[in-house]
Amino acid sequence: MASVGQTLPVTGISRRTALTGAAAAVGAVVVGGALGARAGSADRPTVVLGGADAAGPTSTPPAADPAQWLIDENAKPGAPGGWLVPDEAPQVWNRIRGYATATSVNRGEGIDLRVSTQAPEWRVEAYRTGWYQGAGGRLVWQSETQPGERQDPAVLDASVGTWTAPWRTNLSVSTDGWPPGMYLLKLVSSDGGQSWVPMVVRDDTSTAALLVQSSVTTWQAYNSWGGKSLYADERGGNAGRADVVTFDRPYYRKGSGEFFGREFELVRFVEKHGMDVTYWTDVDLHATPERVRSHRALLSLGHDEYYSTPMRRGLEAARDAGTNLVFLGANAVFRKIRLEPSETGPFRKEVNYRDASRDPITRTDPSEATVSWRSAPVNEPESSLIGNLYESNPVQADMVVVNTENWLFEGSGLRNGDVLPGLVANEYDRVTPERPTPESIEVFCHSPVVCRGKRSFADVTWYDAPSGAGVFAVGTFEWIKRLGDDVAGRAPSAADPPAAIQAVTKNLLDAVAAGPAGAAHPAERNLEQLGIRPGYVPDPPPT
């Protein structure tokens, strides 16, 4: 890995001459180290796309529209309103709580539910989320009525601060016949209780162009059900935050984690447009990182902060094999974690000590210490993968467009200098030349911000990797929220930010779904033109 302050060479040839004629076509796989020198000839390596084995993509997808099943699925009637759990209603949520024994299952597999309620009866309704003519969810399955059971209280492991729900399984559910997708299982009790259990139905045979990833490790980090999260002790005790949290408990609040406002709107958007898409969680990235290379792009959603070593190495290897990476949030790949088993199954405990001196593994394998990725003894800032670097929060600022003479903004109605109100929030990233940064990085939006009294900038970035892959990062939490509005028939422009953002997002996803987008759309470095140089933000806000 490059040392701090070093820029990383992504290309030694002209951006435009590298793409003459068939340079955007597909050819032989070239896999190199993370952002290393280009292999092979002086021209860009090309990448075969489609199906995969352990070594990566090996064949092209069929000529027929691979997304037809998804188009047909979204033509089915949705459940307007009826699938939702009420907001700001803890008295409703707390009447029934539950969790699943896995964050995802392959299609047709079963999953166990563990549910606690004082009500005499309850049931579960399985809703697949998507477009569904704007309804957002479709009822796929409903259980028979189940007898209520008040399960045992939460148990605390005081040595690491872990709260666990030691519950028995009271319903096993088969997903046979369920289409792949992101699901919310709605628990409904006879005393008026309602809450959610999120899960993903994967398709492990899929070679869909787009792989959408749900950030459940980040959801779990912030989950304070029982009393502690990786941030706080909600009961006001003196022991502080947890060092280990577990998936063997419900999510707090209404049970949906960070799905709404960070992920759901993107799911609706890609399904509305009939894109060739499949789904998994970041726990699946940890378990089978090689599968990323079965797809043309991986989409990291709004808040994808907590990463294990296999997760990060999986994305680096995919990028270096020609798979595009799209980061549609901020603060991604910031905290380093380990995933460990519980009595329920593998990868159920999430370990993050924050401080290397407190993590027992530091004595035997310092590279696995659960600090921030950029911190010692790990020393791998996320910018070497993402392009930009997380800086601070909370922030509220306008996004300023500075570079519209390129493919991303075609048909968006945006021009240089346009301002998109409030689009930089609640956390932000920027290009930080003092840290490892791809040499070819191009900035599309460069937005002045003030955070914790310090003046800085938030950036939207793009770079091309030696393999031909493209890596995009939006650097804000707010982008995905703007995909939720139905803007059909509205002309994109700065005066209509949701329409403009959706036009840009459609351009982006079409490009990364087509193949190695860094080869088709090579980045044009423009840091110098924008005044981005080491030390140009002299006193960065604290992180």
Indicate the SS3 state at residue 319.
helix
Give the pLDDT of residue 282: 98
DSSP 8-state symbol, 233: B
* pLDDT value, residue 65: 87
Domain-wise residue ranges, the chain: 1-49+296-302+312-331+389-543
* Whole-structure pTM value: 0.88
Residues of the chain with pLDDT under 70: 1-64, 237-239, 540-543
Give tens-digit pLDDT for 90-143: 999 999 999 999 999 999 999 999 999 999 999 999 999 999 999 999 999 999
Q: What is the SS3 string spanning 464-531?
A: ECCCCCEEEECCECCCHHHHCCCCCCCCCECCEHHHHHHHHHHHHHHHHHHCCHHHHCCCCCCCCCCC
Q: What is the DSSP string of 167-193?
A: PPP-EEEE-TTPPSEEEEEEEEETTS-
Task: Report pLDDT for 312.
Answer: 98
Partners of 233 in the β-ladder: 228
d(CA 380, CA 182): 31
Find all residues with CB under 8 Å of 288, minimum gap 6, and list them: none
Chain centroid to CA 49: how far?
22
* Cα–Cα distance measured from residue 63 to residue 83, given in angstroms and rounded to the nearest whole number: 36
pLDDT of residue 511: 98
Q: What is the pLDDT of residue 43?
A: 33
What is residue 540's predicted lDDT score, i.e. its pLDDT? 59
Structure tokens at 287: 């378990």
**pLDDT averaged over every residue in the chain:** 89
In this prediction, residue 234 carries a pLDDT of 83
pLDDT at 538: 82
Phi and psi dihedrals of 320, rounded to 5? -75, -10
Rg of the chain (C-alpha set): 23
